[in-house]
Structure 1
Amino acid sequence: MRIKLEQLHQQLQKQTAPLYTLFGSEPLLILEATDQIRAHARQQGYTERELFTVDQHFDWTELLNAGNNLSLFGDRRIMDLRIPSGKPGREGGKALETYCTALPPDTVTLITLPRIDKQGQASKWFKALETAGTLIAVYPIERNQLPGWIGQRLAKQQQKADAATLQFLANQVEGNLLAAHQEIQKLALLYPAGNLTFEQVKDVVLNVARYDVYQLSDAMITGDITRFMRVLNGLQGEGTAPLLILATLAEQIRQLIIIRKGLDNGQPPAQLLQAARIWGDRQKPVMAAAQRISIQTLLQGLTAAAEIDRMIKGVAQGDAWEGLLQLGLSFAIPDNRQSRKKVTHF
C-alpha cells in the first residue's frame, strides 16, 4: 500500500504495519519519518532492534537468517534495513522478494532507500515491497512551498513570522532542508515564543543555501531573474566550473528548441516532451517556457552560449560569468525586463 508522507501519522494510529519502506531524496524528512515509525513501534512493545546497511560486500543471507531467527528474549523487534545506493542488485532483489513473501512475526521491518526512478519502481523487488507493506514516497519541499513549510515548523515551537521574513529565510536555505531545520531550531533557542521580527531572523540566519546547476536552469526557463542571479552567485562562490554550468544551460536551450519547433509544426506536446527526455515535475515549466519563448530568442541563446564557451576556453575576450548572467537574463519574462537595466555586471 502506498501512502503520502502526510498520512503516516494517521496510518500509525490505525495500525502497525509489518513493513515500512521509505524512499526519496530529502534526508531530513526520511530521518524524521523513520524516527516517528521507530518511536511508535517502541510504544507498541517492539523494543529490540537490528540494523543492516547494504554495501557492495553485504551478505543478503544475513537478512534472511535474521528474519527466520526469533528474538533471543522473545521480544518484539525492529529490523532496520538501509540501502543507500537504492540498487540491491540481482541477489539483493531476489532476497527482498523472498523476505516479503514471509515477513517475520513480531517484527516491524523498516527499509530506507534514496530516490528511485521509474525503472526501479517497476522492478519485482520494489513491487514486492509495495505489496507486502506500507510504501512512502518522500518528495522534496518545492521552492514555492518552502516558506509555508518553515512557517509550520516555527508554529510547532510557538513562533511565527510574517510572509516577507519567511520568504527571506526560505531564500537563505534554498536546497538545504537540513540547514533550514537547524536554523529554525536556533531561533527557538535564542528567542521566546511569539512573533519574530525580520531583524531578529536576519541577525541569526546564515546563508546556508545549497545550489546546483539544475536550479539555475529552472530559474532561467521560468524567467525568474532574482533567483537566477542568486543561484548563479552561489554557484560561483562554491567554485562550480563555469563550463559545467554552461553545458547544463545549453542543453536546456536545445531541449526547448526541439519542443518549440515541434509545437510550431503542430506536434502533440506529450510526444515532444518524451522526445526531449523531459519527465515528471519538469514537464509543466519546460512546456510553459517553450510556449512563451520564441524560436528566435532560443537560437540567439544558443549562439550566446557558443560565445561563452569560447570565453571559458580563452579564445574569445570577455567575462564568462557575466556572459552566463546575460544569457539567463535574455529569457526574462516581459514583466521582469525592467530589472535587466539595473544589472550590468556580476
Structure 2
Amino acid sequence: MELKPEQMAAQLDSEPLRPAYLIAGPEPLRVLEAADAVRAAARAQGIAEREIFEAEGNQREPDWNALEASFRAPSLFASRRLVELRLPTGKPGKDGAEVISGFCADPPPDVTLLVSAGEWSKQHGGKWSEAIGRIGVIAIAWQVKPHELVDWIDRRLRSRGLKAGRDAVQQLAERVDGNLLAAAQEVDKLALLSDGSPLDAQKMQSLVADAARFDVFRVMDAALNGNAAQVSRMLAGLRAEGEAVPALLGMVVKELQTTAALSRASNLANEFRTLRVWDTKQPMYRRALQRHDAPRWEAFVAHAGRVDRMAKGREAGDAWLALERLLVAVAEPRALRLLARTAV
C-alpha cells in the first residue's frame, strides 16, 4: 500500500500496525511527522520496546547482521517491538536489501519494522521496497511544489480547526516562501492566537510574523541545502532591508563551524547528538557534507573571517559580494572559482 505522508495518521487510527513501513523523501518535516505517527500508534497499541539501527563510526551502512539477529531474537522487555532502520541515502545496498526482503518474506509476529530515509527517487526503489509495500505501507514525502503550497497550508490550517479565506492562505504562503517548517510553526501559532473566527487577509497579516523575511537562518538553510539562486535572492533582500554584514556573520560562522565539525567526525550520528542537531535538520547537513570535504569546510570558515574583516574595514573588498560568493560556493561546488582569492 502506498499513502501520502499526511494520510498516515488516519490509516494508523483505523487498523492495527502492519509489519513494515517505509517513509522516505527529501522533505524532512513530512518524513518526521509520518514517522512520528507510526511511533505514536506503536505506543498506543502497547509497543514499549524500540530499537534503532543506523550507520555508526566509519561504517557506511548499519550492521546488517545485528539487524537480522534482532528480527529473530525474542523481545526482552515486551511482547512486541518497534525496530527502526534509518537510511539517510535511501539505499540499503545488496546485503541490506536481502535482510529487509527476508524480513518481509516471513515477518516475525512481535516486530514492526519502520524504515526511514532522507533521500528518494525512482532509482532508489527495488525488490526490498516492493516487499515492504506488499506487507505494509510506503509513504514518499516529496517536496511540496510552489503551486501546491497554498493547498498544503489550507489542509494544515483545517487540521488545527482553523478556517481561512483563500487570500489569507495565499498571504501566509507568500510569507513562508516554501519553508514547510516555518509554515507549520505559523499554523501552530495561529491555533493558539485565533479566537475561532475565520481568518481573512487582514487578520492573517496581524497575527503572523513575516516568516518569509529574508533572515540569515534561512539563508544558511538555503546554502546548506544547495539552493544557490535562493541564497543570492535572500541576500539581496537582506541588503535591501538595511541589514549589516556583521550582524549576519555570527550565524554564518556558527553554521559553517558546525558543518566543519561534522565533516571531521568519525561517527556522524554521535556528533549530531553532541552538537544537538535536530533530526529535522540532519538531512540538510548530510547533503552539504556530500558536496565538500573537511578541508574545504575549514576553508569556508576562514573565508568568513575575511568577510568579517572586509565588513569592519580591516581588509579591502566588498563585504556583501564576498559573503554572497562564499555562500553560493557552499551551495554549489561549481562556484568555487568565485573564491579564487582564497585557497578552497
- The reply to whether TM is greater than 0.5 is yes
Partner in structure 2 of residue 19 of structure 1: 20
Judging changes above 3 Å, is the alpha-carbon distance between structure 1 residues 156 and 130 closer, same or farther for their aligned structure 2 residues? Answer: closer
Three-state SS of the structure 1 residue aligned to 2:123 is helix
Aligned-partner Cα distance in 2 for 1:116–1:20: 15
Alignment of 1:216-255 (within 5 A): 233-234=233-234, 236-237=236-237
Q: Output aligned runs, 1:96-107, within 5 Å.
A: 96-107=100-111
* Residues in 2 aligned to 1:235 and 1:78: alpha-carbon distance in whole angstroms: 44
- Counterpart Cα distance in 1 of 2:65 and 2:227: 45
Q: Distance in 2 between matches of 1:156 and 1:2?
A: 22
Q: CA shift at 1:71, angstroms?
A: 0.9
Conserved 8 A contact 2:89-2:120: no
Identity of aligned residues (%): 36
- Map of 2:293 onto structure 1: none
In structure 2, C-alpha distance between the alignment counterparts of 1:82 and 1:215, rounded to whole Å = 23
* 1:142 and 2:145 aligned: yes
Secondary structure of the corresponding residue to residue 133 of structure 2: helix
Please state whether the residue corresponding to 2:67 is helix, strand or coil. helix
Q: How far did residue 5 of structure 1 move? A: 3.6
Q: How far did 1:85 drift?
A: 1.9
Q: CA deviation at 1:181?
A: 0.2
Distance 1:46 1:73 in 2: 10
Q: Match of 1:190?
A: 193
TM normalised by structure 1 equals: 0.57
TM-score by length of 2: 0.57
Q: Distance in 2 between matches of 1:124 and 1:152?
A: 34
Structure 1 residues 274-311: Cα deviation after superposition (integer angstroms, max 9, x where no partner): xxxxxxxxxxxxxxxxxxxxxxxxxxxxxxxxxxxxxx
Please list every run of 5 or more consecutive structure 2 residues that lacks an aligned counterpart in the other structure: 240-323, 325-344
Where relative contact order (Cα < 8 A, 6+ residues apart) is larger, the structure is 2
Contact 1:158 1:194 survives alignment (8 Å): no
Larger mean CA deviation between 3-12 and 182-191 belongs to: 3-12
The amino acid that maps onto 1:131 is R
RMSD (CA atoms): 3.3
Q: Secondary structure of the residue that 1:8 maps to in structure 2?
A: helix
Shift of 1:179: 1.2
Q: How many aligned positions are there?
A: 228
Letter of the 2:174 counterpart: N
Question: What are the equivalent positions in structure 2 for 1:82-97 lying under 5 Å apart?
Answer: 82-97=86-101
Report if aligned partners of 2:20, 2:135 keep a CA contact under 8 Å in 1. yes
1:147-158 equivalence runs, <5 A: 147-158=150-161
Distance 2:128 2:161 in 1: 43
Distance 2:238 2:52 in 1: 36
Q: For the residues of structure 2 that align with 1:74 and 1:199, how far apart are their CA atoms?
A: 53
| Aligned amino acid, residue 158 of structure 1 | G
SS at 2:48's partner residue? strand
Q: Distance in 2 between matches of 1:22 and 1:194?
A: 36
Query: Which 4+ stretches in 1 moved above 6 angstroms?
Result: 211-217
Whether the aligned pair in 2 keeps the contact of 1:85 and 1:113 (CA below 8 Å) is yes
In 2, the alpha carbon distance for the partners of 1:9 and 1:54 equals 28
State yes or no: 1:116 paired with 2:117. Answer: no
SS of 2:109's partner is coil
Q: Partners in 2 of 1:10 and 1:190 — Cα distance?
A: 26
- CA separation in 1, counterparts of 2:137 and 2:211? 37
**Matched ranges for 1:1-346 at <5 A:** 1-5=1-5, 7-12=7-12, 13-55=14-56, 57=59, 58-121=62-125, 123-203=126-206, 204-208=208-212, 233-234=233-234, 236-237=236-237
Measured in 2, the distance between the counterparts of 1:110 and 1:86 equals 13
Letter in 1 for 2:163: K
C-alpha separation between the residues in 2 aligned to 1:137 and 1:191? 32
Q: Unaligned stretches of 5+ in structure 1? A: 218-227, 240-320, 322-346
Specify whether residues 148 and 119 from structure 1 end up closer, same or farther in structure 2 by C-alpha distance, changes over 3 A only: closer
